[in-house]
Amino acid sequence: MSAPLWLEKPAMQALLHKLVNRLDDEVLKGKPSTHAFKLDSKSWPTFFAAEFETEREILWSHLAWLAQQGWFEIKLTKSTSPEADYERKPRLLNLHIERLREATGRLERIVSATELWREAVRNKLHASDDIKQQVARSLIEISDRSADEIVERLNMLPALANAPLLLRQVSAELFWTKSKILDKRQELVAIILGLEECPFPLMPVQLQVFLPKQGYDSVLFIENQTTFEQAIREADGRFSGLAIIFAAGFKGSAKRLRLRSGSSLYFSVEGDLSSAATGKFAAWLYKDGGDNNLSSWFWGDLDYAGMGILQTLKNSFIALEAWQPGYAPMLEALRNGGGHSPENIQKKVERTGCQYADNILIPALHTISKFVDQEIA
């Protein structure tokens, strides 16, 4: 049977396209296909805004004919007074997908890039269902590459997790030399690797370093900038004999700190800027034949985040320990009720590899469940 000419009327085509859109949306969102479509001024404005009643009656007769031919069923509410069928809150049920698609020229539903990505993640990513759900929300598109190909490259990411690479180096390694694919996708990288933070920086870590003019035999890493500034002004007191480092924006693996390509050094003008002093420090940091017997310490907030930094730094500075002159007064304040409640949720740290932290500081955090900011000491 050939389609009637009135099927090409703008009012009819508008309705038929709305019906196809509804079917496509149900598939896209994974909803049960109820195929129930409410007819009202919003879903079919041309009909309900018609100026003349005869126009509405003609359009309704077309709709009734389609129902008779099996395109859909028309469901009406019961009526106790004389009124037109289209005034009885009509709904269309059991939509005939093939006929609707043929009438609109939309023979196949266009599969979106988002759908292709979700399917590729579901079928190709080597990860738990929970991780897949999170990754599926972060669409990656690369011209001339399928979603399956991109996900397969993401499966190579764990093999690079401990490499001292910048984020753009990782991106170029994974995605056919394209270095910017992972920009602003650090959270996605962390999710795939099962880490709290992305271990790959966009840029080298910037290390601010103070070298005392009287020389030093130890190195102290300080977490907070305010305390770093205070320390370099007290270089003759409890910080005597210490080279002091503030790792600005320190994130993830500390392994890159000991590579020239992974960190940049900025020496304070308050300290020794001689080439001998700065060269000695660089040789130690980058293990270029310097004095590798220097003691190293870490001092930060007395909280789980600070303990996490200590734990991470020990991966590259094996002998590094928590700095007791800094932590002792903080521990005393904690035990005397001077701590504060956590401002945000922090993942508990059980062990760092430092005896003082593991046997004294962390048990106190577990018991008292409060934190102390470094600036108090």
Measured CA to CA, the distance from residue 239 to residue 260 in angstroms comes to 27
**What's at 331, amino acid-wise?**
L
3-state secondary structure of 221: strand
Q: Which two tokens stand for residue 77?
A: 């509410």
Measured CA to CA, the distance from residue 203 to residue 263 in angstroms comes to 8
| β partners of residue 74 | 92
Using CB atoms within 10 Å of the CB of residue 303, give its burial: 0 to 12 exposed, 13 to 18 middle, 19+ buried: buried
β-strands 73-75, 321-322 pairing? unpaired
Contact present, 358 and 322 (Cβ < 8 Å): no
- Position of tokens 């979700």? 118
Which phi and psi (to 5°) does residue 323 adopt?
-85, 105
pLDDT at 307: 94
User: Sign of torsion, CA 8 12 18 19?
Assistant: negative
pLDDT at 32: 55
Q: Which are the contacts of 273, defined by CB distance < 8 A and separation ≥ 6?
A: 211, 267
pLDDT at 46: 86
Cα dihedral 11, 16, 22, 25, rounded to 10, equals -110
Using CB atoms within 10 Å of the CB of residue 159, give its burial: 0 to 12 exposed, 13 to 18 middle, 19+ buried: exposed
Nearest alpha-carbon partner for 189 in 166, 213, 219, 221: 166
pLDDT at 52: 85
- For the chain (length 377 residues), average pLDDT per consecutive 10? 81 88 74 72 86 88 90 85 82 84 78 85 94 93 92 96 89 95 93 88 86 93 93 86 82 68 89 93 83 84 92 88 96 93 86 96 95 89
The DSSP output letter for 40 is S
Measured CA to CA, the distance from residue 126 to residue 132 in angstroms comes to 9
